[in-house]
Structure 1
């Protein structure tokens, strides 16, 4: 076994603290990654606090991982020692069901995807531990190639925030001529703006905060609508082809669905603690749709990383020491970050 240092929540509502544990030895198809940076996702906070249920403690969060490979298994073909690599939200799946065969491992129909943390390995049943740690062992099939042309710390959030917004934009074939609304300008929202703009769409940020307009336009948005302003909201009624909804708070979906054109689609990415409600007439009247999307498959995640390297797209981050993670969680709850915290693992 490989001794590893990390930070963990020992129980629900207990602050994260230093935690020593062990990883499995590097198998024939595995790579060992010395982690350099790990992004802090809002889902880390949800799971540490068991807000979605089923949390496994002790928990080492983190699924936006980048670093350098220090060891490879005998049968590894995609990577060599010294390569930069990334790990996103999953580290395994059944590999044989229709979804896995189609490269949509996040929708695995047999075992379900194995999360990078707060999940269990398929064979051993051992809990998975994430990237708030100095090393991780991952099968090469679930490991991503990372370009050396981008700022590595700013690449880390692409492994979740990036792919979570890229996947629906690709699935619904967003391209020049489309009008895309982005609800929420946080970790996911700011990536949706950058990616949709790079794909050639007209991008509008829908926000309750007027003071975010300058930031939205600097990120690439063409328009900004203050949703508390009835006149501004009215100006984009029946306007959008797509709305990327990144909001995890409770809100009146009907207000935003009515901004969709006929045959428009709202894609839900955020997960409110309570189920949203909407009247059927809001959908029926203009043949509108509400859909959902979950991260992306391994091939699509690699495609996203390559796209970002080609277009020089990275997350806007605040780099923190790992000892400051509990304070970062509190700031994240207040929306006090532009737009993603990233842990410098050298501070572990």
Structure 2
């Protein structure tokens, strides 16, 4: 079949209508009819070829919500017409040590939805069935797309770092990732501290779950929370004074990166003396994604979204590039 999409011909170019023929679908694959697709900052990085891995014409989109239109003969767990989501990953080998241990997102040959293939800025998208995640009926399908990348990215650290409800969590950056991390941390049962260089965001950060707000541009404010946090979740993609944030950790605390920051520098001795650690992770496994959606349904967690018709994709990217998005952008197909 022919798939109608929007593609960019070169870095920083506008998206234009583009048609391509879908490859023959395999027995473990599904064809998803796209209804909504979030725009992630990673889509912008891929459009601009910031990471040097983009191929053109580029069809982005990896926060996809749609319905199963076709499924391979060996797909037993999904039904035609079922509402599913597809995120950053769309396939994994299913036989390596990481896949067999449930960490499909760490598979060395994991297939990224928009790297070397066409994504969800389109009428349809193809993925391996294990990466098409059923969406609970209690969730608003028009808003849930960003959970499959941004949401999963900040949900996974709570599991990987073994965070308990009695612990204290800080979130650095109140944006597309951070506003979801605040909601997760509060619902997890943690005491939550928001760090932001924008004092005007304090009221909103508290409404999303923060118990405390720290102006990250104020060294004295950072010093006041020294030794108080079990995890500091970094959602920004810029370099900060990481020693100051390491100092906010309790002994055995974790500085956890999910933002693609430039190379970092920090002092090792405070890490040694406090038995502290630095961690990072990519999105999450299909099982973690399913758990996240159930958690969202149980606690009424959802991204704050702005919506554009998919044909207005260039306006949506201009809005994202301007830094004015609050907090996730979703493209809707008619």
TM-score with structure 1 length normalisation?
A: 0.92
Contact persistence 1:186–1:335 (CA under 8 A): no
* Distance (Å, rounded) in 1 between the aligned partners of 2:177 and 2:149: 9
Counterparts of 1:174-193 in structure 2, within 5 Å, are 174-193=163-182
Aligned to 1:20: 19
Per-residue displacement from partner, 1:324-344 (whole Å, max 9, x unpaired)?
333333332443121100111
Per-residue displacement from partner, 1:84-103 (whole Å, max 9, x unpaired)?
01111111122211101111
Aligned to 2:112: 115
Aligned to 1:4: 3
Counterparts of 1:93-242 in structure 2, within 5 Å, are 93-109=92-108, 112-119=109-116, 128-242=117-231
Per-residue displacement from partner, 1:7-39 (whole Å, max 9, x unpaired)?
111112222222111222343332221111111
Report whether the alignment pairs 1:327 with 2:315: yes
Instruction: Quote how far apart the aligned CAs of 1:247 are.
Output: 0.7
Instruction: Quote how far apart the aligned CAs of 1:177 are.
Output: 1.5
Contact persistence 1:8–1:58 (CA under 8 A): yes
Report whether the alignment pairs 1:310 with 2:298: yes
Per-residue displacement from partner, 1:165-214 (whole Å, max 9, x unpaired)?
11111122222211100001111111111111111001111000000011
Residue aligned with 1:306, SS: helix
Instruction: Quote how far apart the aligned CAs of 1:142 are.
Output: 1.7
Aligned length: 334
* Distance (Å, rounded) in 1 between the aligned partners of 2:66 and 2:96: 30
| 4+ aligned runs moved over 4 Å, structure 1 | none
Report whether the alignment pairs 1:344 with 2:326: no
What RMSD, in angstroms, separates the aligned Cα atoms of the two structures? 1.5
* Distance (Å, rounded) in 2 between the aligned partners of 1:73 and 1:176: 41
Contact persistence 1:24–1:137 (CA under 8 A): no
Instruction: Quote how far apart the aligned CAs of 1:114 are.
Output: 0.5
Structure 1 spans left out of the alignment, 5+ residues: 120-127
Instruction: Quote how far apart the aligned CAs of 1:321 are.
Output: 2.0
Moved more, 43-52 or 27-36: 27-36
Instruction: Quote how far apart the aligned CAs of 1:83 are.
Output: 0.8
TM-score with structure 2 length normalisation?
A: 0.96
* Distance (Å, rounded) in 2 between the aligned partners of 1:204 and 1:154: 26
Structure 2 spans left out of the alignment, 5+ residues: none
Report whether the alignment pairs 1:290 with 2:287: no
Instruction: Quote how far apart the aligned CAs of 1:261 are.
Output: 1.2
* Distance (Å, rounded) in 1 between the aligned partners of 2:46 and 2:24: 27
Per-residue displacement from partner, 1:140-187 (whole Å, max 9, x unpaired)?
122111112211121101101111111111122222211100001111
Moved more, 36-45 or 137-146: 137-146
Aligned to 1:124: none
* Distance (Å, rounded) in 1 between the aligned partners of 2:248 and 2:320: 29
